[in-house]
């Protein structure tokens, strides 16, 4: 592995590999860490211990934002102790500003939590963050007590939140991001009245709502999924508890994909076999494409010793593994169609454009539609230089292609710090 450091920029060039036999450990779940930090912060009494939280740029943003609103947290080894501040946050004598940098999860989840703060809260972020819409969430919160003032462009960060979370019925457009719904869900136990959430629009990433509800319930909140599809949440608050963050299937997907593109075997540990994470679906997809998948305890092994076949896949429910699937599809014998890609344009980068760029490095041809991409494997040389545009998932999916094709240099590779700071070290320690 070649590393070229200059001015803080990390360039990575990986060798082409065949017949691998690799072993990795999945990092803690980013989504689980965000949610556990918030639930523990809103618990009224006692100290919660969160075991093995993910320490990444994104989760650090959430931790810092909660602390600015009055929550106290301390690290002890691999654990973090959270002294719950209860449902009425008080982080100082005046308005609080939270810089979410490039963490969309932080900004969206803390938008509703900000209504629990005694003073107005301003949320801002990077230039790219200021291009990502928040309007549907703000519109929903206005109906239950929130007030929003936009600093630049209407419906986008930066914005200032004030008001009181009253509770009651609220409708949310779930067609852009499930995080809009998760945001209201996580603050709802602290509302003055119970909250009933009705979803409209094409719902995306339902598994993340299930994960949100699971973390909330582990911290004592009452969440009910009604028969009509609505979500009902008691306003009885949270309670302090000890919570272990499970391994991250999204991050593990890149390791599994390496077995698929290189052939051979990859085993990943620290994975909950009964996890609610939707990105477990990566294993089923790889199985359909021609890999074998086996599990023993918290270890999962993916093997391939034959050809890969392309598939037709609806993936609006699992957007975070679309790029990983696309990387594998470049090495199949037949085309792959991925549907449900429209929302990728609203992520850390335009991930539809990123899919096309990474696939070109593999020598594949990509047809881009309004809500789909079709990947045609080709035997052209591929290779080249890939700039992930500061997007962690683009960089890690490019690593998969680099190991299958060779002659690919990934620039700005330090962007993996957002979700998986140890990714390149894990490859190096595996002998790559």
**What does pLDDT average to in each consecutive run of 10 residues of the chain (432 residues)?**
67 95 98 98 94 97 97 94 95 88 97 97 96 95 98 97 97 89 98 96 83 97 90 96 98 98 98 96 98 97 97 95 98 97 90 96 95 91 91 98 94 97 96 92
Cis amide linkage into residue 158, ω under 30° from 0: yes
Question: In this structure, what is the dihedral angle of CA atoms 74, 76, 79, 83, given to the nearest 10 degrees?
Answer: -30
Domains of the chain: 2-27+247-429 (3.65.10.10), 30-244 (3.65.10.10)
pTM over 0.85: yes
For residue 278, which phi and psi values (nearest 5 degrees)? -65, -25
d(C-alpha 410, C-alpha 425), whole Å? 15
Q: What is the DSSP letter of 346?
A: G
> Which residues are marked as active site?
320
pLDDT in tens, 52-74: 999 999 999 999 999 999 999 99
Structure tokens at 66: 């909660």
Residues 144-202: tens digit of each pLDDT: 999 999 999 999 999 999 999 999 999 998 877 899 999 999 999 999 999 999 998 87
- Alpha-carbon distance of 239 to 276, in angstroms, equals 22
Q: Are strands 2-6 and 9-13 parallel, antiparallel or unpaired?
A: antiparallel
For residue 91, what pLDDT is reported?
A: 82
Sign of the four-CA dihedral 283, 285, 287, 289: negative
Report the SS3 class of residue 74: strand
User: What does the pLDDT read at residue 381?
Assistant: 75
């Amino acid at each position: 592995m070649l590393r070229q450091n200059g001015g803080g920029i990390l360039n990575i060039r990986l060798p082409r590999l065949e017949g691998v036999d690799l072993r990795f450990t999945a990092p803690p779940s980013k989504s689980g860490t965000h949610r556990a930090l918030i639930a523990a912060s809103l618990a009224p009494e006692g100290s919660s211990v969160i075991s093995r939280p993910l320490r990444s740029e994104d989760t650090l943003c959430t931790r810092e934002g909660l602390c600015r609103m009055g929550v106290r947290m301390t690290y002890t080894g691999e654990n973090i102790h959270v002294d719950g501040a209860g449902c009425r946050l008080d982080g100082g004598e005046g308005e609080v500003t939270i810089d979410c940098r490039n963490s969309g999860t932080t900004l969206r989840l803390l938008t509703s939590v900000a209504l629990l703060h005694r003073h107005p809260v301003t949320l801002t972020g990077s230039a790219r963050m200021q291009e990502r819409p928040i309007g549907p969430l703000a519109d929903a919160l206005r109906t239950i007590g929130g007030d929003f003032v936009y600093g630049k462009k209407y419906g986008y960060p930066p914005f200032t939140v004030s008001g009181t979370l009253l509770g009651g019925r609220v409708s949310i457009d779930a067609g852009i991001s499930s995080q809009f719904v998760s945001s209201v869900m996580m603050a709802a136990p602290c509302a003055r009245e119970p909250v009933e959430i009705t979803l409209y629009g094409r719902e995306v990433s339902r598994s993340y709502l299930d994960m949100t509800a699971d973390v909330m319930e582990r911290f004592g909140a009452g969440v009910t999924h009604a028969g009509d599809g609505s979500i009902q949440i008691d306003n009885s608050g949270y309670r302090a508890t000890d919570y272990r963050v499970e391994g991250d299937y999204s991050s593990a997907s890149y390791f599994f994909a390496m077995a698929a593109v290189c052939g051979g075997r990859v085993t990943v540990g620290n994975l909950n076999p009964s996890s609610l994470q939707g990105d477990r679906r990566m294993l089923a997809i790889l199985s359909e494409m021609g890999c074998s998948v086996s599990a023993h305890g918290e270890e999962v092994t993916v093997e391939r010793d034959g050809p890969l076949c392309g598939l037709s896949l609806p993936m609006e429910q699992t957007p975070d593994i679309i790029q990983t699937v696309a990387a594998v599809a470049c090495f199949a014998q037949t085309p792959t169609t991925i549907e449900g890609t429209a929302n990728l344009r609203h992520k850390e980068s335009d991930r539809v454009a990123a899919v096309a760029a990474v696939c070109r490095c593999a020598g594949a041809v990509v047809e881009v539609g309004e809500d789909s991409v079709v990947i045609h494997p080709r035997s052209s040389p591929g290779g080249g230089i890939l700039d992930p545009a500061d997007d962690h998932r683009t960089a890690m999916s490019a690593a998969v292609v680099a190991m299958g094709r060779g002659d690919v240099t990934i620039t700005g590779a330090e962007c993996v710090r957002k979700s998986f700071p140890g990714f390149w070290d894990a490859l190096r320690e595996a002998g790559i």
